[in-house]
Amino acid sequence: MSQHSTSIEQRLSDLGIILPTPAAPVANYVGAVLTGSTLIVSGQLCFDAAGKLAPDHIGKMGDTATMEDGQAAARLCVINVLAQIKAVVGSLDRVSRCVRLGGFINCRPDFASLPQVMNGASDLMVEVFGDAGRHARSTIGVAQLPLNALVEVEGLFEIK
Amino acid sequence: MSQHSTSIEQRLSDLGIILPTPAAPVANYVGAVLTGSTLIVSGQLCFDAAGKLAPDHIGKMGDTATMEDGQAAARLCVINVLAQIKAVVGSLDRVSRCVRLGGFINCRPDFASLPQVMNGASDLMVEVFGDAGRHARSTIGVAQLPLNALVEVEGLFEIK
Amino acid sequence: MSQHSTSIEQRLSDLGIILPTPAAPVANYVGAVLTGSTLIVSGQLCFDAAGKLAPDHIGKMGDTATMEDGQAAARLCVINVLAQIKAVVGSLDRVSRCVRLGGFINCRPDFASLPQVMNGASDLMVEVFGDAGRHARSTIGVAQLPLNALVEVEGLFEIK
């Protein structure tokens, strides 16, 4: 690695992460909206690099999915959040702070280990952005998510 | 129609939509708060023009409510969001962008067609504001909503 | 009381409220993030002054918890929100407005009296900040919360 390879996109590459091309919106909403210096990113599901929900990332925590499945799903959600940021503001280097992540975990009513699942999202955010990736966070367990996805993550970012 | 009838309120009228008068708050919160150029609108239920929840807009998606019921309920939520905006900033023409909608769908744990329900909200936003109505969006299925309402929608708007 | 005891911290003291020291984060997120003049506070659980969830503040509304339990839990969430604000911006006197509270109530699917629970949060906000405490609010009933807590509240504040 060159001594100049400090960009966020290089860091993603070092982590072996390839950002997917965000799917074109299929309804009257968009992946992210910039207002002033704040970027609001739509709730992203745990689609994989092929744009599909893997069988392990469908359903509810507390049924057959393991904690590792949940954390991997939360990590995928963040990758899709990053792809939406890049699509709207052009480069992840324009992110000065991850301000907030909202984590929605599809779960049985008796599954309370929700923060551990969401750590899969938060950990990746800090791997990618360092201290600028430390965010406020709300994590809740929901009755259902679009497409029966295991996890959905929304985000709010400060853009420079 | 005159060639000058391009205001948002005229467009609502053309759509046959009459904004309700927002009910006076019955608790220590308000319908919307303006901070800087950002307006945050409280979660709005699917009250009809008479301020009531129609029987078809009570309960959970996946029980007896149809997709059409869900979409109509989501549309009503947006009408109530618009009424709150008007009440706080005076005119819908001051909206420069619908930045975000959050959609909460009261559903059975096995009802995953949540985005289709929420499209009832997003579609109306774009009918009313055009491209400025295209928003970031998070849609989740929840265990319950106030008054057993079928849908609740909150919003974030950029005001000029 | 002196005629100068008009600070928010004095008001808390008058209400008999002692702010807890926020627990050090145990994961890659933080209690609150300031972006511009907006402070986003992470979802706070109903921990008591000892940093514990009381038995009455665990579980779902609609099971054994009473409305009084729910309201007391929502009030505790707000106390923890206030502690996070103080930790990040130094003094509660820097709050110029409580812009929004998001209330997540852990509930059975048939428990619809969610706003009454959340009033425990909203009422305290107005007791503390007066009219500047009147906020936009979204209240939903969720399938589960971290640690099986009864209530979680997140907040957005304008800081001067």
Measured between beta carbons, which residues in chain A are less than 8 angstroms from residue B123?
A: 27-28
Please list, in sequence order, all residues whose beta carbon lies within 8 angstroms of the beta carbon of residue B26, skipping any fewer than 6 positions away.
Answer: none
Length of chain C: 160
pLDDT of C20 over the 60 cut = yes
* Mean pLDDT (whole number) for A3-15: 80
Give C19's pLDDT tier (boundaries 50, 70, 90). very high
| C21: enclosing H helix or E strand | none
Residue C66 contacts B, CB cutoff 8 Å: no
The pTM (predicted TM-score) of the whole model is: 0.96
Contact predicate C7/C93, CB 8 Å: yes
Cβ of A29 within 8 Å of Cβ of B142? The answer is no
- Give the position of tokens 């609150």: C32
The subunits that touch chain B, with at least 3 C-beta pairs less than 8 Å apart, are A, C
- The pLDDT value recorded for residue A2 is 41
Distance between A150 CA and the closest CA of chain C, angstroms: 14
Confirm or reject contact between B35 and chain C (CB < 8 A): yes
Tell me what pLDDT residue A22 has: 87
B66-C118-B36 Cα angle (round to 5): 90
Average pLDDT over residues C60-82: 98
Determine the Cα angle at C132 with ends C128 and C136, to 5°. 105
How many residues does the structure list for chain A? 160
User: If pLDDT is split at 50, 70 and 90, which confidence band does A91 have?
Assistant: very high
pLDDT in tens, C44-68: 999 999 999 999 999 999 999 999 9
Q: How many Å apart are CA A108 and CA C144, to the nearest integer?
A: 8
pLDDT at res. C75: 98
**C5 pLDDT above the threshold of 60:** no
Q: Quote the CA–CA distance of C108 and C112 in Å, as a whole number.
A: 9
Contacts of B133 in chain A (CB under 8 A): 28
Show the tokens assigned to B91: 């005119």
Question: What pLDDT, on a 0 to 100 scale, did the predictor assign at position A4?
Answer: 46
What domains are defined for chain B? 8-19+36-159 (3.30.1330.40)
List, in order, residues 6 or more apart from A75 with CB less than 8 Å away.
A120, A121, A123, A124
Q: Which pLDDT score is estimated for B26?
A: 75
At residue C70, does pLDDT exceed 80?
Answer: yes
Q: What does the buried/exposed string (b/e) look like for A100-129 if buried means 16 or more CB atoms within 10 Å of the residue's CB?
A: bbbbbbbbbbebbbbbbbbbbbbbbbbbbb
Residues of chain B with Cβ-Cβ distance to C117 below 8 Å are none
pLDDT of A159 higher than 50: yes
pLDDT at C3 over 50: no
Contact C136, B29 (CB under 8 A): yes
Chains in touch with A (≥3 Cβ pairs < 8 A): B, C
Q: Give B35's Cβ-side CA count (13 Å radius).
A: 26
Are C137 and B42 a contacting pair at CB < 8 A?
yes
Mean pLDDT of chain A: 94
pLDDT of residue C26: 75
Nearest Cα to Cα of residue B155 among A61, C136, C30, C155: C136
Of residues A100, A115, A139, nearest to C40 (C-beta): A100
Distance from CA of B92 to the nearest CA of A (A): 18
Segment C9-15 mean pLDDT: 93
Over residues A85-91, mean pLDDT: 96
Across the interface, do A122 and C32 touch by the CB < 8 Å criterion? no
Which ipTM score applies to this complex?
0.94
Tell me the one-letter amino acid at A37: S
Strand pairing class (A136-142; A95-106) = parallel
Q: Which residues of chain B have pLDDT under 50?
A: 1-5
SS3 B11: helix
pLDDT at residue C120 greater than cutoff 70: yes
Q: CA–CA separation, C2 vs C4, rounded Å?
A: 5
